[in-house]
Amino acid sequence: MARHEIQLPDIGGDPGRECRLGIMGGTFDPIHYGHLVTAEQAREALALDLVLFMPAGNPAFKQDRPVTDAEDRYAMTVLATAANPSFYASRFEIDRSGVTYTAETLKLLRAHYPDNVKLYFITGADAIIDIVTWHDASSIASLATLIAATRPGYDISQAQARIAQSGLDFDVRYIQIPALAISSTNIRDRVRLGKSIRYLTSESVIGYMRKNRLYTV
Ligand code: NAP
């Protein structure tokens, strides 16, 4: 626990002022401009004071494919977010052992920050659609406002219906992000095929991938 506290940025020091903390949750394998635009637009739309980029730790829910080492995903997140003073790359999930559930992350953040800090969990709408089945979903609903980022043309009605049927009191804000036409899957595929990924993510991230031979096989 002490280790987590050291890694979290200091906000909410003025108890008389509401402070809004965005938590950008994703596997980030790799991080790309779609993620960065999402965080920036969420920050602006919801007046967030800071956005923590939190690469998922041990994503046991991803059984379909191997996920790149957490240190590599974190390093790329640091590189991509370094220039923005409102963004902070966090090791909070990757340093926790075992499966890292969002409910647990939010509980630890809630315990760490004073009450004037409000939590906003930002992720892709494709992930949010399953949120009612996530571990301890009711705690997620009570601890954070959700910001669901959609790609253009995405139909939010299915997600809305599932959430409504769950009977849980989720507060979900949907934001459409044209830049989310970029996807990590597409970037991995392009690298594997030797195609250009220039302008899909930052030069620093591309350099890191090349240097460490990520996604080539
Ligand atoms: P995913 O299923 O790999 O992603 C679903 C879709 O959302 C993909 O199209 C993905 O695009 C997009 N996406 C993911 N993160 C995004 C973000 N921050 N902003 C915009 N689009 C995003 O989802 P995931 O990345 O594994 O998980 C998303 C978050 O949900 C993580 O924080 C994870 O820990 C959490 N989660 C928790 C549980 C649980 O507690 N039981 C279960 C599942 C997920 P890209 O591939 O291009 O990113």
97 vs 26, which has greater pLDDT?
Answer: 26
Ligand 1 pocket test, pick from 123, 134, 139 with the greatest ligand atom count within 8 Å of Cβ, gives: 123
User: What pLDDT does 1 receive?
Assistant: 47
**Tokens 């690298």 appear where?**
191
In this structure, the residue with its CA closest to atom 27 of ligand 1 is 26
Atom of ligand 1 nearest to the CA of 28: 48
Confidence of residue 5 (pLDDT cuts 50, 70, 90): very low
| Ligand 1 proximity of 12 Cβ (cutoff 6 Å) | no
Confidence check: pLDDT of 57 > 90: no
| Ligand 1 proximity of 133 Cβ (cutoff 6 Å) | no
Atom of ligand 1 nearest to the CA of 135: 41
| Ligand 1 proximity of 40 Cβ (cutoff 6 Å) | no
**How many A from CA of 14 to the centre of ligand 1?**
32
| Ligand 1 proximity of 135 Cβ (cutoff 6 Å) | yes
Predicted model pTM: 0.95
User: What pLDDT does 4 receive?
Assistant: 47
**How many A from CA of 122 to the centre of ligand 1?**
9
% pLDDT > 70, the chain: 94
**How many A from CA of 105 to the centre of ligand 1?**
14
User: What pLDDT does 60 receive?
Assistant: 58
**How many A from CA of 128 to the centre of ligand 1?**
8
Confidence check: pLDDT of 44 > 80: yes
**pLDDT tens by residue, 80-128:** 999 999 999 999 999 988 888 999 999 999 999 999 999 999 999 988 8
Alpha-carbon span 96 to 26, nearest angstrom: 15
Confidence check: pLDDT of 61 > 80: no
User: What pLDDT does 65 receive?
Assistant: 75
**pLDDT tens by residue, 146-200:** 999 998 889 999 999 999 998 999 999 999 999 989 999 999 999 999 999 999 9
58 vs 78, which has greater pLDDT?
Answer: 78
Using H for helix, E for strand and C for coil, what is the string for the chain?
A: CHHHHHHCCCCCCCCCCCEEEEEEEECCCCCCHHHHHHHHHHHHHCCCCEEEEEECCECCCCCCCCCCCHHHHHHHHHHHHCCCCCEEECCCCCCCCCECCHHHHHHHHHHHCCCCEEEEEEEEHHHHCCHHHCCCHHHHHHHEEEEEEECCCCCCHHHHHHHHHHCCCCCEEEEECHHHHCCHHHHHHHHHCCCCCECCECHHHHHHHHHCCCCCC
Confidence of residue 59 (pLDDT cuts 50, 70, 90): low
Domains of the chain: 19-183 (3.40.50.620)
